Structure 1
Amino acid sequence: MLAGVILVTGATGAIGGNVLRLLAGGEHPVRALSRTPSSVPTLSGVEAVQGDFTDPDSLRRALDGVSAVLLVTVPNPPTVAHDVALLDAAVSAGVRRVVKLSAIGTGEWWNGQLVGSWHQETEDAVRGSGLDWTVLRPSTFASNTLGWARSIAVDGVVPDPVGGARQGVIDPRDVAGVAVAELVGDHSLGRTLTLTGPELISAADQAEVLGRLLGRTLRVEDLPLPAMRGRMEEDGWDSTAMELAVAGTGWARSGGNAVLTRTVEEVLGRPAATFEKWAVDHLSRFGG
């Protein structure tokens, strides 16, 4: 098992936060990198440190004594230079391994656009870094449905941006579990892992589960790509990030994410969690 400090970036997000919880109180000292360390949950054995991908000195301080890094960077706006800066600092600091959070569909083509082009560039940098590496390409997160909560509460509507397509929706806690196994395990690395839940489900399937648990009938409405783009513009999305999101969603609408793997079960020794399991555990977020 790898020894040394583990650095977690994206420490307040869906994956980074769950990785912290899994590692907290364990045998590995853990360091959480954040621009605002006060926003990092207080957990046993977790040290929150200030850092910024544009500040090399802060990265050097954060990486002192680190043996493994979870690389998660914010995609709005997507900046490959941030990932490269962290990788360069990690190599200089003597880090041994990096686990990169990417996304399913990365490297595919849709409507003349490269899906996940930002992830693809970072994946290439990870593979060429000289570090031991694992790339994780999870399917769409179950937690993405939290974006429906307000619409469900107001009018019982679930917006469907992928047009009824089915996906291997995955519990972020399973992604975090695989990330931890790759960060601390003693097996060989150098692999790209596609992670999915145990079933292919649509937005309508998810709405049925949520409605049944809430005791309500929910209505699914298609959200075409132009309407999705319009909403993102209203929310102030960076234009590059928006087009990347549209390309990924278009790929999913075409059926590209209708993929199932058993990788979670192979790595964790148990089946991947169902969407219903995730929904039960988070029903209060929907008013249940």
Structure 2
Amino acid sequence: MILVTGATGTIGSHVVRLLTEGGLPFRAMSRRERPGGVRADFDDPASLARAVAGVDTVFLLTVPPTPTADHDIALVTAARAAGVRKIVKLSAIGSGERFDGATVGAWHLAAEEAIEASGLVWTMLRPPSFASNVLWHRALIQAGEPIPNLTGDSRQAVVDPRDVAAVAVAAMTGDAHDGRRYDLTGPELLTFADQAAILEGVLERPVRITDTNALDRLPAGMRTGVGWARAGGAAYVTDHVPRVLGRPAGTFEQWARDHREAFAAIP
């Protein structure tokens, strides 16, 4: 039995899809009652105990409103008590690096260290920006307004979230990836302007950007990570996705083509 946290989010929803397609037993955890799922809250230890009961493996994805390792650690505590064997954690690229006097992804690093110290089998997944992040700006794109560029001229190997989910499922359903940290990048380095240009070609409509250095408006933990990426810290490509999946990592252009209709349907 696999427990999927963050089951309704960008990565978790793809994990759920892949497990369903594979006929694999899983339990989707969310804070609201959902058919076939389990309701639990990271701030409610009793609910976490119910969520992990009878579970062998956990896909751990937390998105606390303020960056903190508390939610990860609460789940690890419940998992150990329930006899869970393995945790596959969604972390972030650069976690543990030093930048501008602070630690990049400090809360992810603290969670990773807690998982390592727990005695559980683990795999850490560290992606950079997701290709799907441009969906945050689809209303602006639809309106012909410029979209904000927080990362300047820096380049990142933005990754298709479907690839991240596929690696997560591979790690959860086999032992070849136990004890590994994977930087899950896409196959090419792109600036935000490059992404906008690719999207413009796919959508066949103007996609303009506006540079903004609004880092001071981000939470401290996120500010350090974005600043590190803006300074070029994430400008590298790895072979971890193709090594795990046995195929090339998806490109940003392919992701954009596959999701073209999402930019036409503004909720």
Superposition TM-score tier, normalisation by shorter sequence? over 0.9
**Alignment partner of 1:154 out of 128, 131, 143:** 143
Structure-1-length-normalised TM-score? 0.88
CA contact (8 A) 2:150 2:211 kept: yes
**Alignment partner of 1:267 out of 244, 248, 251:** 244
Instruction: Give the equivalent residue in structure 1 for 2:202.
Output: 213
CA distance in 2 between counterparts of 1:144 and 1:257 reads 16
Instruction: Give the equivalent residue in structure 2 for 1:31.
Output: 27
Matched to 1:262, the amino acid is D
Q: Which runs of 4+ in 1 moved over 4 A?
A: none
Q: CA deviation at 1:55?
A: 1.5
CA distance in 2 between counterparts of 1:121 and 1:201 reads 29
1:256 aligns with 2:233: yes
Any idea what the Cα deviations from partners look like across 1:239-278, whole Å, max 9, x if unmatched? xxx1111111100110001010011001001000000111
Q: CA deviation at 1:37?
A: 2.8
Any idea what the Cα deviations from partners look like across 1:170-201, whole Å, max 9, x if unmatched? 00000000000000113251111111000001
Instruction: Give the equivalent residue in structure 1 for 2:221.
Output: 244
CA contact (8 A) 1:165 1:258 kept: yes
Q: Are residues 25 and 280 of structure 1, via their aligned partners in 2, closer, same or farther at CA, if it must alter by over 3 Å? A: closer
Count of equivalent residues: 265
CA contact (8 A) 1:161 1:222 kept: yes
CA distance in 1 between counterparts of 2:175 and 2:108 reads 26
CA contact (8 A) 2:64 2:71 kept: no
Any idea what the Cα deviations from partners look like across 1:117-144, whole Å, max 9, x if unmatched? 1101001001111000001101110011
CA contact (8 A) 1:165 1:254 kept: yes
Q: Are residues 37 and 78 of structure 1, via their aligned partners in 2, closer, same or farther at CA, if it must alter by over 3 Å? A: farther
Q: CA deviation at 1:79?
A: 3.0
CA distance in 2 between counterparts of 1:213 and 1:137 reads 28
Uncovered stretches (5+) of structure 2, i.e. residues with no partner: none
**Alignment partner of 1:277 out of 254, 258, 264:** 254
Instruction: Give the equivalent residue in structure 2 for 1:22.
Output: 18
CA distance in 2 between counterparts of 1:164 and 1:153 reads 24
Instruction: Give the equivalent residue in structure 2 for 1:173.
Output: 162
1:120 aligns with 2:109: yes
Residue aligned with 2:6, SS:
coil
Any idea what the Cα deviations from partners look like across 1:69-89, whole Å, max 9, x if unmatched? 001111322232221111011
Residue aligned with 2:194, SS:
helix
CA distance in 2 between counterparts of 1:129 and 1:93 reads 13
Q: Are residues 161 and 92 of structure 1, via their aligned partners in 2, closer, same or farther at CA, if it must alter by over 3 Å? A: same
CA distance in 2 between counterparts of 1:107 and 1:95 reads 26
Instruction: Give the equivalent residue in structure 2 for 1:130.
Output: 119
CA distance in 1 between counterparts of 2:69 and 2:106 reads 10
Q: CA deviation at 1:25?
A: 4.5
Q: CA deviation at 1:58?
A: 1.1
Instruction: Give the equivalent residue in structure 2 for 1:286.
Output: 263
CA distance in 2 between counterparts of 1:81 and 1:214 reads 41
Structure-2-length-normalised TM-score? 0.95
CA contact (8 A) 1:156 1:217 kept: no
Q: CA deviation at 1:220?
A: 2.1
Aligned CA RMSD, in angstroms, stands at 1.5
Identity among equivalent positions (%) equals: 52
**Alignment partner of 1:55 out of 29, 44, 69:** 44
Q: CA deviation at 1:228?
A: 4.4
Uncovered stretches (5+) of structure 1, i.e. residues with no partner: 233-241
Any idea what the Cα deviations from partners look like across 1:69-113, whole Å, max 9, x if unmatched? 001111322232221111011111111100010000111111111
CA distance in 2 between counterparts of 1:190 and 1:270 reads 22
Q: CA deviation at 1:27?
A: 4.0
CA distance in 2 between counterparts of 1:219 and 1:35 reads 37
**Alignment partner of 1:100 out of 89, 109, 114:** 89
Q: Are residues 188 and 253 of structure 1, via their aligned partners in 2, closer, same or farther at CA, if it must alter by over 3 Å? A: closer
CA distance in 2 between counterparts of 1:31 and 1:99 reads 15
